[in-house]
Structure 1
Amino acid sequence: MWRWLLIIVVIFFGWRHCSTAEISYAAPDKVIDQAPQQSEVSGLQPISFDKYAIQPVAEFALEARVLAREDYWLGREADLSPTDLVLGWGEMADPQVVKQINIRQSGRWYFWQVDSFPIPRRSIETQSANMHLIPANDEVARTLKQISPGQLITLQGYLVNVNADDGWRWRSSLSREDIGANACELIYVKQLKIIS
């Protein structure tokens, strides 16, 4: 029985990661010129979340197109953030651009690949990001479960750093200009809306 269960799991994940299902882009002509908005905060008390302390470090808001999503069930990060979204704004919210970029997620990372650049490399790097989302309430969690690639969303909350009593830490990037390790935003999401 365990052998069959393992085979089914392997087939499912193989299909999921190799599927070439066409993304349906909502409001394909909508332009999102504004980059995510960030402003520093100080003096806010940590937010208790199970066995973690979530420290807000900046207010954060954006309107963006969802380019990819990945759900997680294992690990400490999944206790806090069950879903990562790759979000795009500016040229990276344009379906005609995004269709020319192979985007995927794995292990809390965002990867992209092109045959030829539809826009400059730096525009891809600075107008898209992998964001780890911590739902602040049940309504946000329900909305997050409904989000699909191609949709347009708005969100508001805080960029945060997380600490556990045993010394474990998870830190948010505070810049849209960085790439590579530690470049993802860790967001405590207070409001989340699908706008398309």
Structure 2
Amino acid sequence: MKRLLLILLVAALAWRWWPVHAPAVGNPPPPIDLPAADPLAAPLQQDLPAGPQFSLGGIPARALAQYAVSGRVLSSTRYRLGRAADLAPFDFALGWGRMTEPAVIDRLDIHQGGRWYFWRYQGEPPLPLREIETSSANVHLIPADAAVARALRRARPGQTLALRGYLVELRATDGWQWHSSLRRDDTGDGSCELMYVQTVGRP
């Protein structure tokens, strides 16, 4: 029994402290030239019809837009296994505008799972439902380097962060694909941002 408990403890510690790495980047894109966004305003986005092409973990990638978002971390999730986790080990549910206010957040039950972000409330919603939808997002985060990976790992719910980088799409040679949303007003499947994060800071 003690041996089983020891094995379970070691496994739990290994899972918790599983090392996080940034994927190898081939022909990395240049730093974006957008300023940090205002947490009380919507993210900044500049679409790129012919954005730079590079590779992430050997998978062809293309930048779809420059992107800067500042907001409150409503929830964060770490992924460890699989191709998607090797590329984007973190998902942050981020809120901006009135979705940064404690009086609003405290009325919402927020959680993540399966690369999705969920919220619910009891009684009357703290904000109009459409405002909640358009002032928050689940963002799949691809760290550009080891320093960014460490900064993302240290982030905790309740913090306000400024992230800058690119929204991207990935197209593997075996047919596997992963695409970022380019809108803040969409919901459901395909509405998450897939972000190559170049800098993590405070607004």
- Are 1:110 and 2:126 counterparts? no
CA contact (8 A) 2:148 2:198 kept: yes
- Which stretches in structure 2 are left out of the alignment for 5+ residues? 16-37
Instruction: Write out aligned runs for 1:27-38 (5 A).
Output: 32-38=39-45
Alpha-carbon distance between aligned partners in 1 of 2:178 and 2:121, rounded to the nearest angstrom? 30
User: What residue number does 1:136 align with?
Assistant: 144
User: What residue number does 2:59 align with?
Assistant: 52
TM-score by length of 1: 0.83
Deviates more, 1:60-69 or 1:1-10: 1-10
- The aligned length equals 176
- Are 1:185 and 2:193 counterparts? yes
Q: 1:148 to 1:165 in 2, by over 3 A?
A: same
**Residue by residue, what CA displacement relative to the aligned partner does 1:62-115 show, whole Å, maximum 9, x if unpaired?**
110110000000121101000000000011111110010000000100011100
Alpha-carbon distance between aligned partners in 2 of 1:61 and 1:43, rounded to the nearest angstrom? 19
Equivalent position SS for 2:131: helix
- Which stretches in structure 1 are left out of the alignment for 5+ residues? 14-30
Dislocated runs of 4+, deviation >3 Å: 1-10
Equivalent position SS for 2:175: coil
By how many angstroms is 1:132 displaced? 0.2
Equivalent position SS for 1:79: helix
CA contact (8 A) 2:93 2:139 kept: yes
Alpha-carbon distance between aligned partners in 1 of 2:144 and 2:181, rounded to the nearest angstrom? 19
Instruction: Write out aligned runs for 1:80-119 (5 A).
Output: 80-116=87-123, 117-119=125-127
CA contact (8 A) 1:147 1:194 kept: no
Percent identity between the two aligned chains? 44
CA contact (8 A) 1:88 1:127 kept: yes
**What is the root-mean-square deviation in Å for CA atoms of aligned residues?**
2.1
TM-score by length of 2: 0.80
**Residue by residue, what CA displacement relative to the aligned partner does 1:47-66 show, whole Å, maximum 9, x if unpaired?**
11222112100110011011
Equivalent of residue 171 in structure 1, options 174, 179, 182 = 179
